Amino acid sequence: MIRNLLVLLPSALSLVLLAAPDAPAQPPRPMTIVDLIEVPQVGSPQLSPDGSQVLYTKTVADWEENRRFTHIRRVNADGTDDMRLTHGERGESSPQWSPDGAWIAFTAQRGEGPFRQIFLLSSSGGEASPLTEHPTSVQRFAFSPDGSRIYFLAQDPKTPEEKQRDDRMDDVFAFDEDYKQRHLWSVPVSAGAPVAADRVTNGDFSVLGFEVSADGRRIVHHRAPTPLLDNSDEGEVWIMDRDGSNALRLTDNTVIERGAQLSPDGSQVLFLSSSSADFETYYNGNLFVVPAAGGGHRLLYEDLPHDINAARWAADGSIYFLANTGVRSQLFHGSSDEAPPRALTDGDHSIRGWHYQPAVGQHLVGLNTPTSNGDFHRMAADGGEPVQVTRVFDDLVARFHLPRQEAIRWRGEDGVEVEGLLYYPLDYQEGTRYPLVVQTHGGPRSSDKFGFGRWSSYVHVLAARGYMVFKPNYRGSTGYGDAFLRDMVGHYFNQAHLDVMAGVDHLIEAGLVDGERMAKMGWSAGGHMTNKIITHTDRFKAASSGAGAVNWISMYGQSDVRHPRTPWFGGTPWQEDAPIDAYWGNSPLKDIYRVTTPTLVLVGENDARVPAPQSVELYRALKTNGVATHLYMAPREGHGWQELRHGLFKVNVELDWFERHVRGIAYEWETAPGDRSPAVVPTDEDSRSDHSIR
């Protein structure tokens, strides 16, 4: 009897479960730090030549490996059958369709080889095979229009003598001279064993970028004296035959050009430069054309106030381009004459990833919105309603309670209108004043835009903890016209920091913010701004300076790039009659004695852009002057921290600092998945911290 009952129980239980109504879905919850770090990233969109399929990359976090991995996916253009194509242990990147759609090429580092190579995968399936076996890593590649060859960039290899020296550890090197030039190569497209590549360019210069003409006969490219970032302003636009012969220089200036490409009829070369019509530097990104046979250049859309980021020729000789318009970015269509361009997209978004496929007259755009981290959408060449293709981020709204974003405007101290973004606490109630975190963007030639946001600014976590977050596009930001951008020329800190504080006062006057509970943070140029503001005011109860400059004189010699700084200060700090007063007058270190704000300092140990000595100068100055501070240096990291646990540490230590100093409450550190014990939290802010990223 009992045995029979036991036998019947599972069936009876199944009937009960079948009859029961569906369990209610879990309500959206606030995001944690780990949730944010684990939000995937998508990129490299590629519409197939027939328009039926889309390639893209998806990057996911792996806590066991403490890093992110990128793999290639394919989805039908109607959004069906989204599948992962590659499974390499080290990931893959840069997928491209062959012109006939038969092959998919990508780069990857596989096997025992130390270098990234080009691989070919049949679009009908199967295993990928290596196309190249180059002695250095492939850095960029493109199919010839007929699909018979692939052109690629790679650094020149070390000589046998140099390799022998390395083996003997006889490896003293000359600073800023220990580089190899980067040149263009080509390889025939064939499945099977790797084939030898043919050199296209040779000489004491580097090819920084290239584009093959529509007829496959010529190659437009950018040449610079070296591959070093600081020499990029010495580069020029060139055109040559596909075998490297008959090279002709098309520009001669002292500004950086990028994105050069030949018009469909072969008569003109289009390129971008952040310069004026007469090639004066430090302007919003502009579009230029120059005759392919040589001659004078012409600036297009001179009255456009936006910052142009990318452009493509259309088959009829018109131009599509992506532009930053301030807190948004949009896709535009313009002619090559003086007619004003027309926006093809509209809305509170930024565009992250864009591909135009002329064969089918369609665009593929990644729309980064407050609820999506950039899912790709198809759109007709002349505009229209975007049609969603990928659905990587469809579940974000269902799973998480996301903060409200809105654009706000206020007047700077001199009356100029300034714009920014405001993020509301999840529990926002009208009439209540909230603590505020002010975040300033990097660049400074950039702007904060609508979008889901990055883990490093963790707006979602701050909003969940009851903070308002303010992101001002201060003077010096792009997308608002050249006068707005060039306010920094001659001094850097002119109106920029005053714009930030005017925005803060605007929020206080509007009854939104409690002015007695505020924190300031930022990375790179956002760190520069933090360093300035803590010397300008004591109104912030806490601050965090990430990879920020504090001494413009020493920074000029330490950084791997200098050309943006000479417009700011009117020359170099080591020239005759050097503008030292401008360099020192704009250095936060000059006024560091005024600081009372408890300030964290964070930097990557291997940061070449804003090197660690800048953070050391700041930390030692604050420490000597009795200001509460800690300096956290992340091993192996450059200008942006990549390792997952370093990112988790950054957010935890900043939240702990803000909660303690702004709100006077304790903060429980969040742990990585799989960790059994919480992080050790310092209890005495003025003593040597027990924290270490090592």
Residue 15 has pLDDT above 60, yes or no: no
Q: Indicate whether 13 pLDDT > 90.
A: no
The pLDDT, as a whole number, for residue 509 is: 98
Q: What is the CB-side half-sphere exposure of residue 501 using CA atoms within 13 A?
A: 19
* Region 440-467 average pLDDT: 97
User: Distance (Å, rounded) from C-alpha 443 to C-alpha 674?
Assistant: 36
- How far is 435 from 663, CA to CA, in rounded Å? 8
Reported as a single tens digit per residue, the pLDDT across 431-445 is 999 999 999 999 999
pLDDT-above-70 percentage for the chain: 94
Q: Flag whether pLDDT at 152 surpasses 70.
A: yes
Residue 193: per-residue pLDDT: 85
440, 546 contact by CB (below 8 A): no
Q: Write down which residue in 273, 291, 309 finishes a domain.
A: 291
Residues 276, 537: Cα–Cα separation, whole Å: 36
Asked whether the predicted pLDDT for residue 316 surpasses 70, the reply is: yes
Q: Which amino acid is at 544?
A: S
Is 189 part of a structural domain of the chain?
Answer: no
Cα(261)–Cα(616) distance, integer angstroms? 44
| 583 pLDDT above the threshold of 70 | yes
Instruction: Looking at the structure, tell me whether residues 582 and 453 fall in a common domain.
Output: yes
The answer to whether residue 185 sits within a structural domain is no
The DSSP call for residue 566 is H
Going by pLDDT thresholds of 50, 70 and 90, the confidence category of residue 686 is very low
In a domain, 603, yes or no: yes
State which H helix or E strand residue 9 sits in: helix 2-19
In a domain, 441, yes or no: yes
- What is the average pLDDT across 510-520? 98
User: What CATH number did the domain enclosing 614 receive?
Assistant: 3.40.50.1820
Q: In the prediction, which pLDDT does 689 show?
A: 40
Quick: pLDDT tens for 342-352.
999 999 999 99
Going by pLDDT thresholds of 50, 70 and 90, the confidence category of residue 12 is very low
Helix (H) or strand (E) holding 627: none
Is residue 432 located within the same domain as residue 571? yes
Contact (Cβ atoms closer than 8 angstroms) between residue 619 and residue 631:
yes
Write down which residue in 255, 275, 291 finishes a domain: 291
DSSP one-letter string for 582-593: HHHHT-GGGGGG
Q: Are residues 408 and 267 part of one domain? A: no
pLDDT recorded at residue 692: 39
Rounded to 5°, angle at Cα 552 from 547 and 553 = 130
- Angstrom CA distances, 595 to 351, 583, 631, stand at 39, 20, 16
- Residue range 588-626, pLDDT digits in tens: 999 999 999 999 999 999 999 999 999 999 999 999 999
Backbone φ, ψ for residue 411 (5° rounding):
-100, 135
At 558 the three-state DSSP class reads helix
Q: What is the pLDDT of residue 321?
A: 98
CA distance 145 to 152: 14
**Per-residue model confidence (pLDDT) at position 3:** 36
What pLDDT, in 10s, does the model give residues 180-237?
Answer: 999 999 999 998 889 899 999 999 999 999 999 999 999 999 999 999 999 999 999 9
Res. 335 pLDDT band, cuts 50 70 90: confident
Structure tokens at 560: 């791997």
**Which pLDDT belongs to residue 22?**
54
Q: What are 422's strand-pairing partners?
A: 406, 470
Read off the amino acid at residue 353: G
Tens of pLDDT, residue by residue over 80-113, are 999 999 999 999 999 999 999 999 999 999 988 8
Tell me the average pLDDT across 281-310. 96
- Structural domain includes residue 43: no
Residue 40's φ and ψ, nearest 5 degrees, are -65, 165
The separation between CA 623 and the C-alpha centre of its own chain, rounded to angstroms, equals 33
Q: Quick check: 614 and 548 in contact, CB under 8 A? A: yes
Identify which of 567, 575, 583 has the alpha carbon closest to the alpha carbon of residue 281: 567
Residue 18 has pLDDT above 90, yes or no: no
Amino acid at 516: E
- CA-nearest of 264, 278, 239 to 319 is 264
Distances (CA, A) of 580 to 362, 545, 621: 53, 24, 21
CB 331 within 8 A of CB 354: yes
Q: Are residues 275 and 422 in the same domain?
A: no
Residues 425 and 565 in one domain: yes
Burial label, 231 (beta-carbon count in 10 A; 0-12, 13-18, 19+): middle
Residue pLDDT, tens place only, 388-423: 999 999 999 999 999 999 999 999 999 999 999 999
Could you tell me what percentage of the chain is helix, strand and coil, using 3-state DSSP and rounding each to the nearest 5? Answer: 20, 35, 45
175 falls within a domain:
no
| pLDDT mean over 134-148 | 97
Q: Report the distance separating Cα 157 and Cα 181, nearest Å.
A: 9
- Report residue 244's pLDDT band, with 50, 70 and 90 as the boundaries: very high
| Rounded distance between C-alpha atoms, residue 570 and residue 140, angstroms | 36
The answer to whether residue 450 is domain-embedded is yes
Residue 452: pLDDT above 80? yes
Q: Report the side by side order of strands in the sheet with 298-300.
A: 257-262, 268-275, 281-291, 298-300
3-state SS assignment for residue 598: coil
The first and second tokens of residue 58, run together, are 């998806």
Backbone angles phi, psi at 230, to 5 degrees: -70, -15
Q: CB count, 10 Å around CB of 64?
A: 9
Q: What percent of the chain has pLDDT over 90?
A: 90
Q: Which domain holds residue 241?
A: 207-291
DSSP track, 395-452:
THHHHB-PPPEEEEEEE-TTS-EEEEEEE--TT--TT--EEEEEEE-SSSS----SSS
Average pLDDT over residues 3-17: 35
Better-scored residue on pLDDT, 322 or 2: 322
Q: What is the pLDDT of residue 687?
A: 39
Q: How many CB atoms lie within 10 A of CB 264?
A: 17
Partners of 436 in the β-ladder = 468, 518
Q: Find out whether 444 and 488 touch, Cβ atoms under 8 Å.
A: yes
How far apart are alpha carbons 306 and 322 in whole angstroms? Answer: 10
Q: Which helix (H) or strand (E) holds 514?
A: strand 513-523
Q: Which residue, of 291, 317, 344, is where some domain finishes?
A: 291
* Cα 54 from Cα 525, distance rounded (Å): 36
Task: Tell me what pLDDT residue 682 has.
Answer: 55
Q: Are residues 287 and 408 in the same domain?
A: no
pLDDT at residue 11 above 50?
Answer: no
- Residues 281 and 420 both lie in one domain: no
> What's the gap between Cα 228 and its chain centre?
19
Q: Is residue 64 part of a domain?
A: no
Angle (deg, nearest 10), helices 496-509 and 525-536: 70
Residue 6 has a pLDDT of 33
Token duo for residue 542: 């806490």
Residue 542 contacts residue 597 (beta carbons within 8 Å): yes
In angstroms, rounded to a whole number, what is the distance separating the alpha carbons of residues 468 and 327? Answer: 18
Which residues, including other chains, have CB under 8 Å from residue 279's CB and lie 6 or more apart?
A: 253, 254, 255, 273
pLDDT of residue 691: 42
So what's the pLDDT on residue 24? 60
Distance, CA of 103 to CA of 100 (rounded, Å)? 8
SS3 letters for 188-231? ECCCCCCCCCEECCCCCCEEEEEEECCCCCEEEEEEECCCCHHH
* Contacts for 546 with CB less than 8 Å, ≥ 6 apart: 521, 522, 523, 524, 526, 527, 530, 602, 603, 650
Average pLDDT, the chain: 93
Closest of 57, 122, 133 to residue 94, by C-alpha: 57
Residue 25: is its pLDDT beyond 80? no
Q: How many domains does the chain divide into?
A: 2
